[in-house]
Amino acid sequence: MKVKVLFFASLREQVGRAAEEIELPADVSTVGALRAHLVARGGAWRTALADVRRLRAAVNQDMAPPEVALRTGDEVAFFPPVTGG
Amino acid sequence: MKIAIQREDFDAGAEARALSDGNAEVGAVASFVGLVRERNDGAAVSTMTLEHYPGMTEKAIRTIVDEARVRWQIIDCTVIHRVGELRPTDQIVLVAVASGHRGDAFAACAFIMDYLKTQAPLWKKEATPEGARWVDARASDDASAARWAPAPTKDRAA
């Protein structure tokens, strides 16, 4: 299963990229599992994505809690809590 | 309903007037304008850069306005949020709500702002004398959004 992953704001700066296509291993099928998969890369990935209190996610442009299931072709975004307005 | 994410400035007065133009059902227009402050969390702010998630920002704001429509009588509504580099005194955001009566207009305007601050994917980065920093989300913003009771059933809003 392949998904498109986007990163915004401080997360984008920390991981050094705005977007990436990722081919997911068979056991990675939820938002939470994708986060853990990225954290396992270590280094800046761990720093940026390890603290779930400072992390939000969206699937296909809707806010998504960790248990949301992923499907091939999904657009998944990770970002810090929002600060607009 | 008008939702716009743009770099350009906006004319709050013209936007508010446009909501009632030619519509005699409108008895109240409430509007809110957010501005860039010269100081934030103890530091002087020279510029503020707003980043957003194109597509999702508009979708999230539409969802917030739809939720407000369930709760209050709204005739029309405009939300404009600027992105890019802004300076102190610049306008950041406009929420304007037209309704039959002031109670609905005031409440819906405050509700949309409170939820925009916690649900719309926008992020502020400030340039200060100590360097650039991403603005931290405030616990008080979550509290402001949480003070709104769960949506009433549809029949009340009808």
Residue of chain A whose alpha carbon sits nearest to that of B138: A83
* pLDDT tens by residue, A30-82: 999 999 999 999 999 999 999 999 999 999 999 999 999 999 999 999 999 99
Q: Is a pLDDT exceeding 60 seen at residue B158?
A: no
Specify the pLDDT at position B139. Answer: 83
Q: Are A68 and A35 in contact (CB under 8 A)?
A: no
Q: Which chain A residues contact residue B124 at CB under 8 A? A: 83-84
Q: Are B88 and B45 in contact (CB under 8 A)?
A: yes
At a CB cut-off of 8 Å and minimum separation 6, what does B158 contact? none
Specify the pLDDT at position A7. Answer: 98
Q: Is a pLDDT exceeding 80 seen at residue B157?
A: no
Residue of chain B whose alpha carbon sits nearest to that of A13: B134
Question: How much is the ipTM here?
Answer: 0.95
Q: What is the pTM of this model?
A: 0.92
Question: Comparing C-alpha atoms, which of A61, A66, A69 is closest to residue A29?
Answer: A69
* pLDDT tens by residue, B52-62: 999 999 999 99
- Beta carbons of A84 and B134 less than 8 Å apart: no
AA identity, residue B42? G
Q: Is a pLDDT exceeding 70 seen at residue B152?
A: no
Q: Which chain A residues contact residue B93 at CB under 8 A? A: 84-85
Question: Comparing C-alpha atoms, which of B23, B86, B55, B60 is closest to residue A82?
Answer: B60
Q: In what order do the strands lie in the sheet containing B47-52? A: B84-86, B47-52, B122-128, B131-134
Q: Is A63 on the interface with B (CB under 8 A)?
A: yes
Report, in this order, helix, strand and coil percent for chain A, each rounded to 5.
30, 30, 40
